[in-house]
Amino acid sequence: MRPTQNKVRKALFDILGDIEGLSFLELYAGSGAVGFEALSKGVKDLTLIEYNRDCMLAIKKNIESLNLKACNLYPLQAGLAIKKFYQEKRKFEIIFLDPPYYQGQATPNPIGWVGVPPSAAKKTLQTLAAYDILAPNGFIVVQHFKKDNL
C-alpha cells in the first residue's frame, strides 16, 4: 500500500474547492485516506473500490469503527466497478484514481494484464471513456507515475 501523501491530498482538496453534497468515487482506494478526507469535507456519498484483500479489510475496519453511513466499499477490480456503475446508471461528480505504479516492470497484477501492463492509470481512463460514469461538470483526478504517458 502506498498511501497518498498529505501534501498531495491537501493540494487536491484545495484545487477541488467546495465539494459538499457531491458524490465521490475513489478507485484503487488503498488506505481510503483520500475518500475519508472527502467525507470530512462534506461529500454526500463516498464509494471506495479496492481489490487488494488486506487494504480492503483495513478500509472496512475503519468504516465500521468510524460508523460511516455515507460510505460504500466494493471489493472489485477498477474496470469491473466502472462497468457495474455504468450498467446501474450511476454517476459521480468526482472520480479519483491513484493506481499502483508498475514503472514498466513485469508484475502479477489484479487488473487483468499479463506481463508488462500498460499504465494502470491509462487503462482505467480508457475504461472511463468507454463507460461514462462521470456526472456533467464532474472531475476525474489521476495520480500517476511521472513517466506515464496518459
How many C-beta atoms surround the C-beta of residue 82 within 10 A?
24
Decide if 48 is inside a domain.
yes
The reply to whether 117 falls in a domain is: no
pLDDT confidence of residue 4: 56
In a domain, 20, yes or no: no
User: Please, are residues 127 and 115 in contact by the beta-carbon 8 Å criterion?
Assistant: no
Say what the pLDDT of residue 94 is. 96
Identify the pLDDT of residue 6: 72
Show the domain range for 58. Answer: 27-32+40-100+131-150
Which CATH number goes with the domain that contains 147?
3.40.50.150
- Residue 61 domain-assigned (yes or no): yes
Q: What is the pLDDT of residue 115?
A: 46
Q: How does pLDDT run across 12-69, given as a tens digit for each residue?
A: 888 888 999 999 999 999 889 899 999 999 999 999 999 999 999 999 999 999 888 8
- Number of Cβ atoms within 10 Å of the Cβ of 122: 16
CA distance 121 to 7: 21
The number of domains in the chain is 1
Alpha carbon distance 58, 65 (integer Å): 11
- Is 139 domain-assigned? yes
Residue 8 resides in a domain: no
pLDDT in tens, 91-139: 999 999 988 765 555 444 555 544 445 678 888 999 999 999 999 999 9
Q: Which of 143, 140, 121 is nearest to 4 (CA)?
A: 143
Grid-cell match 464509494, residue found: 47
* Domain assignment of residue 58, yes or no: yes
